[in-house]
Structure 1
Amino acid sequence: MIRLSASSFAAILALLLLFVAFLFAGGPGAGLDRAILTSAQHAALVPAARLVSDLGSWIAVLIAAAAGAAWLALRRRYRDALVLIVLMVGERPLVELLKEAFDRARPDPHGHLVAVQSMAFPSGHAANAMTLGLGLALLVAHGRWRVPAIALGLLYALLVGGSRLVLGVHWPSDVAGGWTFGVAWTLLLVGFGKGTSAPRDH
């Protein structure tokens, strides 16, 4: 029987509480959010932020996820491949539903350095990057590669989330909310998807 471990359940619950805290403590009326956003905006960082932000776009993460799923399928890890696909395909619609439900305004539109259309909370790019980075690390990497892969996945998510602040399109709590959602969603799906015996590398 496939079930969620007690530790994973506790972690997901803690993450959801953090998510709610970021929702109610941040946004347009939060002085800390505004101060962090202002300190993150430097013209010299904008070109790099545009590039990194693109790496967290929906198209970019789908391409990366498809490549990861193909690699897993070639190694006959079909369940892991399916979990990765469901993980990424399911994440974005959920984020969009949350954005519409919470209806938080973004920072001043005159400060936006890239075009945006949806609402602010949670950040889709931050959620995309965290789900992809952590999902690939947990499903593709194993053995001695697992910890370095998780570190790289988290670094990727941190950079993508930070780029949205440099570009002036999200409050810091939007980004933090996207990260926490991404971790919780990944732990949930990977936890329920356990049961595949991964091949051992020698």
Structure 2
Amino acid sequence: MTTKIRQVKKEIIVFDFDGTLIDSTQEIVEAYNESFSKNNLYRVPARLIKQNLGKFRETIIKKIYPSLGSRKIRKIAEDQGKLLDISKAQAKPNVVETLTKLSRKYTLAIASNAEHKTIVKTLQHLEINPRFFKAIVGMDNISHRKPSTEALEKLERALGSKIRAVVGDTETDIQMAKSYNVLAVAVVGTRSYKDLLKEYPDIIVKDLSELSELI
């Protein structure tokens, strides 16, 4: 009689993309200011944009220029997306080493408010093998962006396993994880340690290399 050994699927670790695995803050800020100039608006200090990163483009533009109409905001948002140059983006420290270690124990995935093609293109540009990630969900793959849990639901269905943790750098990542009752891991960078603490994540790390010891 042959005994079948049931293989247990690995749990999933879901990463945010920009600000967590890579850093393109300066490129994003410059794209916003170029789009403002293109639409006959003043450039703004970088801090006004940085403090809102992680939110939707339309939301950021509305916060900076609250008197603009929805059509104008959509136009600026579209221009910002077209003007964004990822060629100068940088991988976060220790990212490849961390992904290598975690992939031995977990299935890795990405859920981001960036477009799917932008995520893949940037990973390739930075020589981070996209094959680390068994699934990638971008904003164009879902109807409701973070902090909606739609991306997490889609990843679990696609991968046939349960999510262990969400790793991200902004409030929306923490909120999404907590809404889905999975481990919320916050990465210091886009937001300060103090700001992240206000959202009550389960874990806060200053460097990705800490992850392999904590989850």
What interval of TM-score do these two structures reach, taking the shorter chain for normalisation?
Answer: under 0.3
Structure of higher RCO (CA pairs closer than 8 Å, 6+ residues apart): 1
Return the TM-score normalized by structure 1: 0.27
Return the TM-score normalized by structure 2: 0.25
Larger Rg: 2
| Structure with greater strand percent | 2
| Structure with greater helix percent | 1
